Amino acid sequence: MDLNDLQNRAIEIRDKYDELNKAKRGITWNEQQLMAGFVGDVGDLSKIIMAKHGLRSMDDVDTKLAHELSDCLWSILVLASKYNVNLEQEFQNTMDGLDARIDSELAA
């Protein structure tokens, strides 16, 4: 599965969430609400990482870590779609910029 396939799957699930939320609560989440959900997931991820390093007690840490990383990726893919960001291209641009900056600092 490539990034485009992952994003399409994420959007498919977001559409199902929209359908569920509309049926159960009469609303769908906007971009700000999606972002708030993402922040919550990042907080959960932080707690899991703390547990991974013995700072919290938690059962089945590795499974929870994999799940939460996937949740965070889902949010990023959905937000990128909502804001028409080409993640594949922007990731490459960001990595190229970081690579050049690191090379420059190493050469100094």
What's the pLDDT tens digit per position in 31-67? 999 999 999 999 999 999 999 999 999 999 999 999 9
Q: Give Cα 84 to chain centroid, integer Å.
A: 16
What's the pLDDT tens digit per position in 12-30? 999 999 999 999 999 999 9
pTM of the model: 0.92
Q: Are 56 and 50 in contact (CB under 8 A)?
A: yes
What does the block give as tokens for 27?
């609303």
- Which residues are within 8 A (CB) of 80 and not within 5 positions of it... i.e. 6 or more apart? 7, 86, 87
What does the block give as tokens for 26?
């009469």
Rounded (to 5) percent helix, strand, coil in the chain: 80, 0, 20
Q: Could you say which architecture CATH assigns to the domain 3-107?
A: Orthogonal Bundle (1.10)
